[in-house]
Amino acid sequence: MEIPTPSSQIEPVKLVPESRFRFACHKGLSCFTQCCRGIDIILTPYDILRMKKRLGLTAEEFLLVHTDVEILEKTMLPVVRLKMREEEGSPCPFVTSEGCSIYEDRPATCRYYPVGMVFLKKQDVADKEEFYFMVREDHCKGFAESREWTVAEWRADQGLDLYDERNRGWMEIILRKKSLGPTAELSPKALQLFFMVSSNVESFRRFVFESRFLSSYDVPAERIEKMRNDDVELLEFGFEWLRGVLYGDKGVDLKPGAAPRESGPASS
């Protein structure tokens, strides 16, 4: 998911995985790290998992120190934005003269550039359309380099298949909301649940394991054990559950006679 900045130029050409482009980014270029300033980076749930672990922070600490909440245009869903430093040029808190200090755990947006991806799904249409495009920042010298890639090679090099897979449940919820249109409102409680699962896996874990949640939902014991110890498993479950809560989709089955547990952790 590429979030172009005001100086971005989006090339009006649809790209496919086999499309080729020239690009390289490395220390020594005069623009090195210039792109890590004043940039609008929406963090995905998997970005947050990787970054908080890298920094040795709880989700709560990470959200407090490094992020702001933003309402996503056209969906009105609350998402998390990486906070830039409040100093001249608004640098990213993780940029150094040597490059990105959390490179192995950098967010998906940083991995995608200079490729952007569009993922379309229309209301009541099962087919999804996915294509790519190039984003050129005015100051970026990477396009003058001779290294050639296909879009698929770039994705593999940047580890994007894993990131997209881990974020798929979240993206589908956002796209579904977008396809319903701006007039389809979710309740404040539903928005709160979406934000909790998307941004604070520890809070969601407490919600599942320290309330009567598991006495209401029919979750196989093996899955419960995986969720207990694995943030990724818990996230995947969370988005499956949210599809039922937010949109009335099948989601996670209720136990016979049980009422849905949709109250947040504060009241659980």
Residues that bind ligand SF4 (CB under 6 A): 25, 29, 31-36, 39, 92, 94-95, 100, 102, 106-107, 110, 113, 137, 139-142
The minimum distance between CB 251 and ligand SF4, in angstroms, equals: 33
The minimum distance between CB 158 and ligand SF4, in angstroms, equals: 11
Q: What sign results for the dihedral spanned by CA atoms 39, 74, 186, 126?
A: negative
Strands annotated E in 90-187: 95-96, 99-100, 115-121, 128-137, 148-150
The minimum distance between CB 152 and ligand SF4, in angstroms, equals: 20
Spatial separation of the C-alpha atoms in residues 142 and 32, rounded to whole Å: 9
Helix H or strand E segment including 110: helix 108-112
Q: Give the total residue count for the chain.
A: 268
Helix H or strand E segment including 197: helix 188-199
The minimum distance between CB 126 and ligand SF4, in angstroms, equals: 35
Instruction: Check: CB of residue 166 under 8 Å from CB of residue 23.
Output: no
Nearer to ligand SF4, 29 or 152 (CB): 29
Nearer to ligand SF4, 107 or 169 (CB): 107
Nearer to ligand SF4, 20 or 147 (CB): 147
The minimum distance between CB 236 and ligand SF4, in angstroms, equals: 24
Nearer to ligand SF4, 91 or 238 (CB): 91
Nearer to ligand SF4, 145 or 225 (CB): 145
Instruction: Check: CB of residue 25 under 8 Å from CB of residue 63.
Output: no
